[in-house]
Structure 1
Amino acid sequence: MADQFYGVTDTGKERKNNEDTFIAQATADGKFIIACVIDGVGGYSGGEVAARLAREAILQRLTKPTGEFIPIMIDCFNQANQKILDEKKQVKEHDSMACVATLTLIDIEHNQFYYAHVGDTRLYLLRDNSLVKISHDQSFVGFLEESGRVNEAEAMAHPKRNEINKALGFEANLVKDSEYIETGQSPFLPGDMLLLCSDGLSDMVTSADITTIITHSSSSLKDKGTQLIDAANAKGGKDNITVVLAKNDKQALKHNATMPAASEKKKDQPIVIDPVKASTPITHQENQEPTPQKSNGWIVTLLVLLTLVFLAGNVWQYLQNKQTTMVVAEAVPPADSKPLGELEIKLQNAINNLKGNVLLLADTAYAAPINISRAIQVKRDTLFIKTKGKIELVADSVYKGTAFSLNGQCKLIMLDSLSVKNFKTGVIAYNNALLLKNVRFNNCVVAVQNLFTIAGNKFVSGDLHTFRADSIPMTNKQN
């Protein structure tokens, strides 16, 4: 696991002691990476004690992580919370101590990471040089920033930026409040990087500057971590600064578009077909037969045989996929559907023409509900759709299809704080590529239809993950 993870902490320029701590190590069996940042709260000694107790509890619980990962991580926080509460009862000087923490458990073999979060430490995902904040700051200023009321610079300078709403050590029993701990999971693809940090970094260094530092290709994780600490100190170092980096150092797969041999064209074709192409009839270009030469008669015969094999393979594949085509064909509208509306054209073009991976939809640009008369197509490797204000997609009165149709090649698509209304199917997705946050499905027959592309004649193993329904939006939980 050389250069797969690295952690560093620094006291900063103004503090006398360091109330931060971190975890950056592999589990005993070497199957997982534990990455965690803990920021202590509560005075000169109390914060340090709370952070240390939380670290010990987490490592003890993750000695052998088996079973469902999210419940294990929630249990880590509950055990840490109890240790802090016990210490507060025994030592009067520590009665105000607590800590905030962000914990990730990374399954490199299966390209997944799982996280649990309380407070205002942060978790970022870097993919294709785009940095996306995964965790939500559980603070008043965090709520203001994520809801669009203040920008990043204003949040960093806000006088209440250090006031938190949730922490380990605040509540007697976290299990009773299932909304207290933010949890989730996401694909962690070859080349991806995770950044966990305390607010000593995020309050001093902008996300743009952080991105510049950690995308420096020639730097090791140690160098990147050191540069982030130096950047925060250069801006004043007003708090303790802690950084943990973890990288999936597998070779990123890149395929060149090549024409396979006719006899191999349909080998290991996925059983589930792309909904975008589901209703498109199979067509073949007519090959012009070359003028036969006396010495090339065997070539003509071979070409004829290959053509017959090619056509037979296509007919067989069509018959195999016929039932699946009927399931997902609703994603494509009939040819005589009415013209697209202005807002749905605008949304589709915004997705198609996006340069990076993050699309921000503001209600100033989409003031009215977006009337959908055919599925919004997503054909990107990675896309994060976030919103400012109320954004709602509503099915046209005569449209009976889906709101979003994700291409089978999508690897990570996140929809954040959208409303989807009156659709037969809210989202058609493939292969665990979909991540939802604060998405509401109103009057949808099926909220999410998740399809899996699996090569034929193979042994299949794995499990299916589910979405969790929340009674309160995530942003309001932080208020």
Structure 2
Amino acid sequence: MAKQLHGLTDTGRARSNNEDAFVAAGGRYPFGAVIDGVGGYEGGEVAAALARDTLGARVAAAARPDTVVLREALLAANAAIIAEKQRDPRLQEMACVLSCAWADEDAARVLYAHVGDTRLYLFRDGSLVKLTRDHSFVGLLEDSNRISETEAMEHPKRNEIDRALGFLPTIPDPERYIDTGSAPFLPGDLLLLCSDGLTDMVDSNAIRTVLQSGDTLEGMARTLVAAANGNGGKDNITVVLLRHSKARVQPRPDGAPRPAPRPVPIEAAPSRPLPAPPPLPRRSTLALVLPWIVGLLAAAALFYFIRPKEAPGPVGTGVNAAYPQAALQDTLDAAADTLRLTGAVFGDTLLLRDSLWIHRDSLVLIGTGRTVLQPASGRLPLQVAPTIKRLHLKGLELRDIDLRIAADGAGALYFDSVRLRGVAAGLGAPLLLPDTLVTGTLKDLMTQKRKNP
């Protein structure tokens, strides 16, 4: 199992005790968790150990991965921490934050649950995507693109968290307090769970470099911990790496030459003298050149009439006619408040090879009425920042997309003649929309569908 799952924790350079803990449980449905204790020497280690043991027991008893099981496991851990605090007055300040991931390769999904500022990342094809959001003021600033990653790492309030297990005796709204969700888990994918002892010391580019090194999971874990310690090691450092059991099959590139067929030997026939060919009639120079001139003129005329006509680019940004996935994400990041997906520039169908991330305050995304956004294969998430004020989708179709937005932001997502085919919307208990033409807010749609399932 070491090839698929590995965990490592380290005290760091500045602390005398380790308040972190982790779970790395193999099997048919591998499970990993990173837990960061809060409350100093007297309590952090106790809270982290209680959460670790509770999570491990609940997951081991489950039949298969389920976000409901994960949420209930975190609620049980919260109850265990509160009970211990009531039993021992010295532990009144203890709590913990955690992130956990549960892989289901049969369903090609990973389910996760999260509270606090530990993190879960998905590494795929050289791209590192953060699946969780930090429950902290600085995390909110970073996730909404108000400050950079470097500024967040240096912010004086980066360790002040809004949520943790053990803060409240009873969590009043578990579906909002505990973030749960899922993401595609495909051959070649690698998951990284880590405490802030890593991400406060090592930026995402350095983490990405380690994950694409091709080293073993144990080697990568040791390199990440060493990098955090090399940058100061100001906190405990914990990482869990979970790799898909199958490697990605690289598709044959378009236009790649086929291997030459093996020559078939031909038996030599008895040689006989061949008759001399008849002499060719002499042709004038004009007769030889004229067919070439006619062919060139015809090709020029054909190119003139069938070439694509130039069309204005999307509002607020310039683009090229050839539009790869990375350019689409860059355009979403750099566009003005309105982005028009014109057919001449983007084409009628945009095949997505990775998830899209929308972290603008507001954006109006307008299609042509024939514009389709769909994954090149399988399913992909369209991740919307929880801080978005308004996302208006108009005249387009989403296929096999997981709309990921916090429940309190559902009213900010507005549809205008948008067709949803095979779309799952919301977090926790996704709302499945097999084929629906929508005009209105996602919040109204969720309310209507759940009243009339």
Report the Cα offset of residue 345 of structure 1. 9.5
Does residue 224 of structure 2 align to residue 228 of structure 1?
yes
Structure 2 distance, partners of 1:356, 1:10, is: 39
The residue aligned with 1:176 is 173
The residue aligned with 2:405 is 437
Structure 2 residue runs of 5 or longer lacking an equivalent are 256-308, 434-441, 445-453
Report the Cα offset of residue 115 of structure 1. 0.3
Partner SS, residue 245 of structure 2? coil
Structure number with bigger Rg: 2
Structure 1 distance, partners of 2:204, 2:402, is: 24
What amino acid does structure 2 have at the position aligned with 1:421?
Answer: H
Partner SS, residue 161 of structure 2? coil
Structure 1 residues 257 and 233 mapped into 2: Cα distance closer, same or farther (>3 Å)? closer
The residue aligned with 1:141 is 138
Q: Any idea what the Cα deviations from partners look like across 1:335-364, whole Å, max 9, x if unmatched?
A: xxx9865326958759924559964734xx
Q: 1:450 aligns with which of 413, 422, 427?
A: 422
Q: Any idea what the Cα deviations from partners look like across 1:268-299, whole Å, max 9, x if unmatched?
A: xxxxxxxxxxxxxxxxxxxxxxxxxxxxxxxx
Structure 2 distance, partners of 1:445, 1:152, is: 37
Structure 1 distance, partners of 2:10, 2:65, is: 34
Does residue 155 of structure 2 align to residue 125 of structure 1?
no
Structure 1 residues 360 and 416 mapped into 2: Cα distance closer, same or farther (>3 Å)? farther
Report the Cα offset of residue 441 of structure 1. 3.7
The residue aligned with 2:66 is 69
Structure 2 distance, partners of 1:105, 1:247, is: 12
Structure 1 residue runs of 5 or longer lacking an equivalent are 260-337, 453-463, 472-479
Report the Cα offset of residue 111 of structure 1. 2.2
Structure 1 distance, partners of 2:194, 2:183, is: 18
Structure 2 distance, partners of 1:422, 1:257, is: 34
Partner SS, residue 422 of structure 2? strand
The residue aligned with 1:428 is 398
**Superposition RMSD in Å:** 3.2
Partner SS, residue 113 of structure 2? strand
1:64-213 correspondence to structure 2 within 5 Å: 64-66=61-63, 69-174=66-171, 176-213=173-210
Does the 8 A contact of 1:358 with 1:383 survive in 2? Answer: no
Report the Cα offset of residue 17 of structure 1. 0.4
Structure 1 distance, partners of 2:254, 2:137, is: 53
- Identical aligned pairs, as a percentage? 37
Partner SS, residue 227 of structure 1? helix
Q: TM-score when scaled to structure 1?
A: 0.70
Structure 1 residues 21 and 68 mapped into 2: Cα distance closer, same or farther (>3 Å)? closer
Q: Any idea what the Cα deviations from partners look like across 1:216-237, whole Å, max 9, x if unmatched?
A: 11x1100000000000000000
Structure 1 distance, partners of 2:321, 2:144, is: 21
Does residue 21 of structure 2 align to residue 24 of structure 1?
no
Query: 108-117 or 352-361, which moves further after superposition?
Result: 352-361
Q: Any idea what the Cα deviations from partners look like across 1:155-177, whole Å, max 9, x if unmatched?
A: 10111000000000112223534
Does residue 241 of structure 2 align to residue 256 of structure 1?
no
What amino acid does structure 2 have at the position aligned with 1:444?
Answer: D
Does the 8 A contact of 1:344 with 1:372 survive in 2? Answer: no
Q: Any idea what the Cα deviations from partners look like across 1:279-320, whole Å, max 9, x if unmatched?
A: xxxxxxxxxxxxxxxxxxxxxxxxxxxxxxxxxxxxxxxxxx
Structure 1 distance, partners of 2:116, 2:105, is: 26
Structure 1 residues 245 and 359 mapped into 2: Cα distance closer, same or farther (>3 Å)? farther
The residue aligned with 2:233 is 237
Structure 2 distance, partners of 1:143, 1:407, is: 28
Structure 1 distance, partners of 2:103, 2:418, is: 31
Structure 1 distance, partners of 2:170, 2:321, is: 45
What amino acid does structure 2 have at the position aligned with 1:170?
Answer: F
Structure 1 distance, partners of 2:443, 2:35, is: 26
Does the 8 A contact of 2:364 with 2:391 survive in 1? Answer: yes
Does the 8 A contact of 2:65 with 2:111 survive in 1? Answer: no
Does residue 358 of structure 2 align to residue 389 of structure 1?
no
Structure 2 distance, partners of 1:357, 1:401, is: 17
Report the Cα offset of residue 65 of structure 1. 1.8
Q: 1:409 aligns with which of 374, 377, 387?
A: 377
The residue aligned with 2:431 is 466
Q: Any idea what the Cα deviations from partners look like across 1:109-162, whole Å, max 9, x if unmatched?
A: 332100000000000000001111110000011011111221111110111000
Report the Cα offset of residue 214 of structure 1. 1.4
Does the 8 A contact of 2:366 with 2:394 survive in 1? Answer: yes
Does the 8 A contact of 2:398 with 2:423 survive in 1? Answer: yes
Structure 1 residues 349 and 70 mapped into 2: Cα distance closer, same or farther (>3 Å)? farther
